[in-house]
Structure 1
Amino acid sequence: YQDEILGNVHDNMKAKTVILNHSVTCKLYHGRTYKTQNLLEMIGIDRQLRLSIILQIVQPNGIASIINYPRSVDKYTRFLYFRYQSSIESCHPDLIKRQKLDKLFESDPRATHVITKIIRGIHAVAIIQLPHDEQAEIDNLLERIRASLEHKENNIPMTSKDRDLLSRIISTTVYSNIHTLSEITNIYDVWQKILQIRDKTKEHSDLVYILSPIQQINLENTVNNINNTMLKEHDIANFENSLLQKLSKLRVLNVRLNHELPELLQDRLEEPLTAAQHSFLEIEKLYDNAMQQIGDLLVSFRKNQVEINSVTEILNSDVQDTIDASTRRLTDISDDLTLKGNLIKQLENTGFEYYDAAKLGLTENSNKQFIEDLLLKNNYNKLFFCATDHLKQQLSKQWNTFHSQMIKQRQENPELAIIYVDFTYTKWNLKEMILLPSKQQTINIPQSNDEYINILLLGESGVGKSTFINAFANYLRYDTLNQAESSKPYVIIPVSFVMTINDEYDEEIIKFGDIDSNEDHNNSGQSVTQQCRSYVFKISNEKKLRIIDTPGFGDTRGDNRDNVNMKIIFSFINHLPYLNGICFLFKPNVKQLNRFLYSCYTQLFEFFGENIRDHFIFCFTNARSTFFAPGDTRPLLQSFFNSFPIKDIPFGKKNTFCFDSESFRYLVALQRSLVFKEIERDEFEKSWIRSVEEAQRFRNYLCKELR
């Protein structure tokens, strides 16, 4: 029912070893054929045992582990099969002479058979994956190797050119009854190893066990009642074909999703790939549970406890339909991702950069102008080709025309960057393929005379980056708190914060501004800002500030999330024409710096180079409590910079600015009709005046001193 070696017969058996002179079987199979579609059958395992292995009733080892071969078999796959029987060890003649055999087996009443013969030798299959070119030349070499093994010819010449050809084989996986053979990963060494050990029978291993049923040895004394219930050949064939198809598809999916696609995509399209990997785990769990059920039923059938219908019914159950449908769907997804990976390689080979528009954080309600602004960012030395997989498929002629046009423009203007923007994975529906800027615009000339100052804003989660942007814009707009109170707050980013009110210290949640899916205020400890987003507002008559708000580091989801956020940030700013500065936002009285700060600075220097240090700006918020000074955070930063490998990072009065966002929060709270005491209002007014002074100094630094 479930074959298992129970132990040794506790008696001295006389075994006889005979050296065999059998001929070698050595075959070379090409691709997926009738012979190679069932690998267990190819190596000579009988039907009943094959079924037990597939259902994991019996765990495969040695050459039977070929069932675990993970790759798909195609026209580039080759199988080099070798089998050689060198000796046979038998105790059967001695065993049948024994008397009182019941005493030999009564220690374990489960025993049904005894191993009476062991055939030893070499059994191996090398599965070889060829490159898509040079097949004919490599096949000729493989045939020479096969002939050498079959006829025991050690002196077949192999030139350095031949060795070089063999080294171009993509992969060689060996399954064998000899462990040292299974560890070899190139076909030349497999060939040499077999020739080396062929006549060394001590290095050979077990090939076949010959079992004799106990009742045939001693029908009178055996206590076992052997049940010879067997499945019909037709039933086994149907079982096997159905189960092997499922197993093969899942094995191929596993390799594609967890090995081939990550290598092909190179950290691109992480979201759809991760979703596909999670779906695969769910299918795999369903499959494992189903196989466990079928295996248990098959064992019960072999014990004559259930009818064959019980086994076949589960093969035709809704669960199996779900597994099949889910596997087909996931195969389609993996096919699409493979096509996308190959498209990205094709685009890059023709000079394109690939950009996944999902990183823009678009929603169904995003408008086209907003998306154009995000992509162009006042930079017309880049040409964007916006499309989706669906549009590419439906309008292939137009896609090819756009593609050719952009390559031609790049040839005419080598300084032009051409970027393929893929909207396939966005929530926003791109209805037609577009080129940005449009033909009416001149690529090298900005639309207006406004000069943009691009500043990247970085800081720990919860430090108040989004609030700082709002506060800074209001400090520049209103010189006094009276002016601000007479107007509505200038809210660039929706705000949400908790404010303590009245003498009872009640807390009120203050929200202001339109709902923005990019600002998630509901998960404490996680960054409120979900994606990079740029915000533009005038800071003088001549210049506009484009400040890029970013997800905060120190996210409670871990360092890995911080590294993912840094990748998102670099991807976003990579499409900016230039960056004027990087502004780090801190609170003035922290006890220790965030541990991710070191990695953050390291990645910034790796991305921009050492000169980026001259473009660092340091801003402190909530600075009213430290009299608008950096407070205890300053010595921590100085110590940090002193220990950092890159020295001379500027950090002084010139590039350091202190603000207080509480006066802006007070302004927002007034919109909710909250009442404050006069003394509280006086404090907010003082804070506003100092923050306006710092904002004006900051503006002058950005406009006149930062380059």
Structure 2
Amino acid sequence: MISILEKNQNSNRSVDPQLQATHVITGIDFGIDLIAVLQLPPENNIIIQIDDILNKISYILSTNNDQISSKEKNLLKEIVTVTIYSNIPTLTGLRTLSDLLYQLDRFKGEFNCCHPITYNLRPTEWLNPQYRSTNAALRIIPKEIKDYTEQYLLRLRNQIRYAEAWLKQNISTFLYGPIQDQIVDARYDQSTLKDRYKKLTKLMSSLIIDIRKGRHDPSIIYQILKDNEQITLQTNTQQLIKNVHELERKRHSNDVSESQEYFKENHQNDDFMSQNYTSNDTKNSLKSNDVNQLQFDTYTNNYDRNSKSTGNTITSSSPIEEINTPLSNNIDNAINILLVGETGVGKSTFINAFINYLSFDSLDLAQLNKPHVIIPVSFLMTIGENFDEQIVKFTDVNNCKNEDFNHPGQSVTQHCKSYLFNLKDGRKLCLIDTPGLGDTRGIDQDERNLDHILKYLQNLTHLNGICFLLKPNSSKLNVFFRRCFNQLFDFLGENLFQNLIFCFTNSRSTFYTPGDTTPLIKTMFASLSINSIELKKENTFCFDSEAFRYLVARQNQIEFNDHEKQEYDMSWKISMKESFRLIDYIRTKLPLNILNHNWKSNKHALFEINQLIRPILETMRNILRNIIILFNNQSIELYSTIIHRPAFICYSCTPKLNLIANFWIIEDTPHEFQNECQMCTCTQNNHTQINYLLNYKLINNYSKNRKDEMNEQLNILSHGSTAFAYFLLYIIRSTKEDPFFIGITRMIEEETKICKQYKSNNLNLKLVEELSKLKENYRKQFNEIELNKDQNNLEFIYKWIKKINEIKMINEQMKAVKKTQEILMKQHEIDPIDI
């Protein structure tokens, strides 16, 4: 369609003489622009038939004659995937050719459904011959400069895009393997160069406009593209390509670990096919029920007898035990102190200040030396007689992944991180920085931060004390402070009361005293009927971090008057004295470990159950596979691989499939998530975090006498799952959905879609039937819980946790979970610093 403005005789042909324009739009072409990308099935005979239908569709669209038959529509359904790119938003969401043809037919004759495709331009003189703009100059850039600029930018773009595409394609193979550091470095370099390239193109776009307007000489392009910054960009990009080529070489070499080689062999021997999966979480609301003690004893005792009689388990030893994880035992041997406080109280600043107070006897001495800044700092400071505000930064704030300075009111610290100090008596002190509470994102974010802190504690060998950091002049306590204290008490028990420390930051305003906050804390303890906690001089310490901020400001060349310097000098001396008093108190008064791993709590049980959800679901699915192929004396062994970085699985992306014992099995493809997925464009809701990768291999000559044992394990897992689900839903009310029921439903959906793709595969179809029976049996078991809900107490849940962990296939996966957690904790540990 063409909307012709040129022939509009009534158009206003006057032009504002002040208008800075060289051309005017005189016509707009409207229409539909689209590209359909098809993934065809592998069968040649079907491809030939689809080609004939596509030719027919082309004829229909160009002549408006004929239409496709019902038989042809059914054949089009054999197309694996259809992706549509179009200037019409409603078309891009279509996933079948039949729907596309229907929409195109509906658009015929409807001008409003079409969008602009091209714009016709004419010089402003055409509209008004008298118009001669002196403001709108159009200078032509010489062809050699245009060609040079285009080649320069295209070469850079292609190199960066090549590196980006290669890393995306191979990241799942390497990111969680032995050369992860090289991959991480290459990804960081590529991301940095991409940002620099975007800045360059933005600069060049603005510059070209200015040149065309006569504001710059065209030769300035040569000057910019040949300056030191652009030479560095070119050099770094070429080095990135060399690094990628080296990684590609390693991909084909024998330098990769044994587990990586095992994957390679499987990839060579097995056919890999892809199928598009979209898993929508099925939401089910089940009636409140319970599992009784009699069922627990019956199933677990039968399982014990069967295990002892056979003397074997389903799976062989996992490679997990063979992995030598180079973790230091720094935290295990240190005095561990957890720092807790609301957002903005200054926990990270306290750690920075603390090490400097212990390292330098005076502020003058600290200025003569380079201050210790182990956590990047960024803060707003008012300076000068006019009270000007200036942002003060020290160390590389922009590249610090654990500190977010861009969202005021939100916790700056993103993860728990441990900072180790070598004390003069030979012992180590570990201060554990935590995300702040009272986050402006709301109570849900606070709950996530607190859960993160408690999970971190769960993985420590011991904890010597908890230090609450507070502001001395608070008019009321943050509402989440009370909840935080209650959850710590629930998680740690009464041991918590023995080793509490209270540190007050920014206490110069209250003359280095706790100020109005002390009575608020005592009132809270009294309301909780807690009389054994003492808040006294011995365990209370008053600091002023402003002296450290002054030190950082001086590194930024900010000047202060003599009076201010005198105030900060006094602050430094008092804070230094308090720091040494705190060290002495920690060394002499906190020898006990308040972390009791035998302590049972709702929160601890919740963490244990959440870690078991995936192992239980995958173990049940694999047991059903093994029961199905038992007649062949075969078994599929499930084993786990630890990962070295936080990883997620996306249930919306197209997965890879392995063919093992004639079962199509989905291969774990880890995704990295940092605010958004680095490997796909799917939403966060479609991603689930994982702690290990699942792998499979075929075992031949497997005994047929194991069927009873496998069925018994299946019963244990099913009944344990219903007990866990009831506990989560109705006892502690941590969720509104049953994660086990949803998980079984998702597995049925996955296997059903595999069956639709590979219709001749009877084993996956049989697995769908067995999973459906498992789902129905699970529903019945859940309904039986209601009769004996009084047995579903905390002790009962811990018995199930213990029994399920004794199943070897579960135990092997849990080993990988623990190893992964240790590795991730190690990554947030700073090497010891002498003080």
Question: TM-score of the superposition, structure 1-length normalised?
Answer: 0.42
Whichever of the two has the greater Rg, that structure is 1
Question: TM-score of the superposition, structure 2-length normalised?
Answer: 0.36
> If each structure's helix is expressed as a fraction of its own residues, which one has the higher value?
2
